Amino acid sequence: MGLVGRNRTEGDALESAQERRERWRSVYIIYFTMFQMSLGFSIVLTGVWPYLDKLQPGSSKEALGLAVGASPLGQLAASPLLGFWANRAGSARGPMLTTLALFVMASTLYAHLHLTRPYAHHWMLAARALVGVSSANVAVARSYLSAATRESERTRAVAGASLAQVLGFVVGPALQAAVAPLGPGEPYPPLGQYNHPIRLDMYTAAGWINAVLGLINFILFLPFFFKEKKIAAREAMLAHGKETEKEAMKAIKPDYVSSWMLVGAFFVLVFNFVLLETLATSLTMDQFAWNKKQALEYMGALMSAGAIVACVVFALITPLTKLFEERALLLWGGFLLTGMASILCIPWGPGPPPLAGSSGVTEEAGGGCPQHSQPWCENSRGLTIVQFLLGYTCVSIGYPLGVTLIQTIFSKVLGPRPQGVWMGVLTGAGCVSRALGPVFVSAVYARHGPDATFASTAALTFVALLALRLVYSRLKPPPSPEVVPPREMMPLKQNENVS
């Protein structure tokens, strides 16, 4: 080895400056994908009900629930399968290109639902389910981030991906509102007549925006732009003194107990967030006698403020991990704050909540606690606005901290091996949370009130915190196998008595 080779640092041995630029360019493409998949889900949330009602007047709210729930269910089913595909192929490009092509097709279908009448509801379910299947590529994206970043870069990379997802959820409804001036468009012609097969109105615009962004994303994954640079296995190979990356991965045994513990903790964290987001409007109408218009306006403003707080937290995660250990931040920042949010949402007020139909509060306006359908209203204590705001602040800080650090630690615990299937399992746990949140609202909140609801979630969160504390010492990268240095050749000892 020459003088230059001897003086190279480990970073130089891993990659050149050009390779590093290409590697991070591909990571930024992954960020865009995470943003776009979140936007693809959220952009239709505010418009799907009026769109469905226009396509099929008189549609039920159950049909709306199916249309919204089809996407996470599709993602749940496809996430482990896409992860398995990426692992077997040893490449993220094939699964990403396939799912993005499917996303463009599903989004175009959403913009042409008027051609499917009188079966528009069924075709809307199909379009949203296909969007969910295509958005399962976030499992492949997370797996690629783990393989394409060094251990020292992992927290920054996962925080960037989480921030991209949050921005997608925030920007989606804003884009839907931005195209509202297009209006609902001309009335649909009688069945069987199609004067304008291609329509652009405030409902179909969401589909067209998704299709265009999906096409751009597809192009970015072509070889000219997206170059797969998997550095984690190479880093492990050098660190463990192995001859090949395959040997390094075989020598590293991930801790499956802590891995499954993190999957369960991820489910609990997402469940808490989804439950509060789902319940917030109904809870404030019951507890503060807000009517529908007030609840939508106030909660819209509060959720926007919460999203801004979350973005600030994401930006601060990397510098925070330089001051505090990641595991400590996860437990005492993520889970403790999320558990406190549930405790703060248990009504502690001096009196009962305002009852609908009394003291000037009309049930028709939607304000007040409806004691006829929710008998607990008369015996429950009221929630104060200060409590609710403090609780929402806690979850706005705790959730982004927890969800980012769980993914970061999960990736490190698994080590440099292909993580497609495991990331699919983690993504699936989040999908189950999103599916169970609304069910929990109807099964527990409507029947037993906020005391039982938030006491249950607080207990669940603190059990998860305790479980993580029990495996605290195992929430770290797999131990490096002992590297035995080669023994140098030693000259044979001469018999000292030989003259």
Q: How many domains does the chain have?
A: 2
Per-residue confidence (pLDDT) for residue 374, from 0 to 100: 82
362 is a domain residue: no
Say yes or no: 372 and 459 in one domain: yes
Query: For the chain, first and last CA: distance in Å?
Result: 42
As given in the structure block, the two tokens for residue 49 are 């009900």
Say yes or no: 331 and 243 in one domain: no
CA distances from 125 to 73, 152, 168 (A): 11, 43, 22
Per-residue confidence (pLDDT) for residue 6, from 0 to 100: 39
* Cβ 236 vs Cβ 416: under 8 Å: yes
Q: Percent of the chain at pLDDT above 70?
A: 82
In this structure, of 31-40, 85-94, 258-267, 277-286, the range with the lowest mean pLDDT score is 277-286
Greatest mean pLDDT range, 134-148, 366-380, 435-449: 134-148
12 is a domain residue: no
Say yes or no: 204 and 269 in one domain: no
In this structure, of 76-80, 174-178, 190-194, the range with the lowest mean pLDDT score is 190-194
Q: Pick from 212, 231, 247: which residue ends a domain?
A: 247
Rounded to two decimals, the pTM is: 0.72
Q: Region 347-360: what's the mean pLDDT?
A: 75
CA distances from 299 to 159, 161, 454 (A): 26, 26, 19
Q: Cα(16)–Cα(229) distance, rounded to whole angstroms?
A: 12
* Cβ 79 vs Cβ 263: under 8 Å: no
Q: Pick from 204, 231, 247: which residue ends a domain?
A: 247
Q: Tell me the backbone φ, ψ of residue 299, rounded to 5 degrees.
A: -70, -30
468 is a domain residue: yes
Q: Between 210 and 233, where is the model more confident?
A: 210
Assign 362 to helix, strand or coil: coil
Q: Cα(429)–Cα(462) distance, rounded to whole angstroms?
A: 18
User: How much of the chain is helix, strand and coil, in % rounded to 5?
Assistant: 70, 0, 30
Confidence tier at 487 by pLDDT (50, 70, 90): very low
pLDDT over threshold 70, residue 355: yes
Per-residue confidence (pLDDT) for residue 192, from 0 to 100: 63
Say yes or no: 146 and 53 in one domain: yes
Per-residue confidence (pLDDT) for residue 364, from 0 to 100: 46
Say yes or no: 241 and 381 in one domain: no
Confidence tier at 133 by pLDDT (50, 70, 90): very high
pLDDT over threshold 80, residue 193: no
Confidence tier at 470 by pLDDT (50, 70, 90): very high
**Which residues, other chains included, contact 370 with Cβ-Cβ below 8 Å and sequence gap of 6+?**
286, 356, 363, 377
Q: Region 235-242: what's the mean pLDDT?
A: 62
As given in the structure block, the two tokens for residue 52 are 């469905």
496 is a domain residue: no
Say yes or no: 263 and 241 in one domain: no
Confidence tier at 60 by pLDDT (50, 70, 90): low
Q: Percent of the chain at pLDDT above 90?
A: 23
487 is a domain residue: no
256 is a domain residue: yes
151 is a domain residue: yes
Is the bond preceding 118 in cis, omega lying within 30 degrees of 0? yes
Buried b (16+ CB within 10 A) or exposed e, 74-107: bbbebbbbbbbbbbeeeebbebbbebbebbbbbb
Per-residue confidence (pLDDT) for residue 14, from 0 to 100: 73
Say yes or no: 442 and 310 in one domain: yes
Q: Region 271-298: what's the mean pLDDT?
A: 79
Say yes or no: 179 and 84 in one domain: yes
Nearest to 134 by CA among 3, 243, 38: 38
Say yes or no: 148 and 29 in one domain: yes
* Residue pointed to by tokens 């020292």: 152
Say yes or no: 242 and 260 in one domain: no
Confidence tier at 105 by pLDDT (50, 70, 90): very high
Domain carrying residue 58: 18-186+196-247
* Cβ 211 vs Cβ 107: under 8 Å: yes
CATH number, domain containing residue 230: 1.20.1250.20
* Residue pointed to by tokens 């989804």: 274
Say yes or no: 325 and 223 in one domain: no
Per-residue confidence (pLDDT) for residue 360, from 0 to 100: 46
As given in the structure block, the two tokens for residue 245 are 């990356």
492 is a domain residue: no
Per-residue confidence (pLDDT) for residue 107, from 0 to 100: 93
Say yes or no: 395 and 472 in one domain: yes
Confidence tier at 242 by pLDDT (50, 70, 90): low
Confidence tier at 495 by pLDDT (50, 70, 90): very low
Q: Between 270 and 3, where is the model more confident?
A: 270
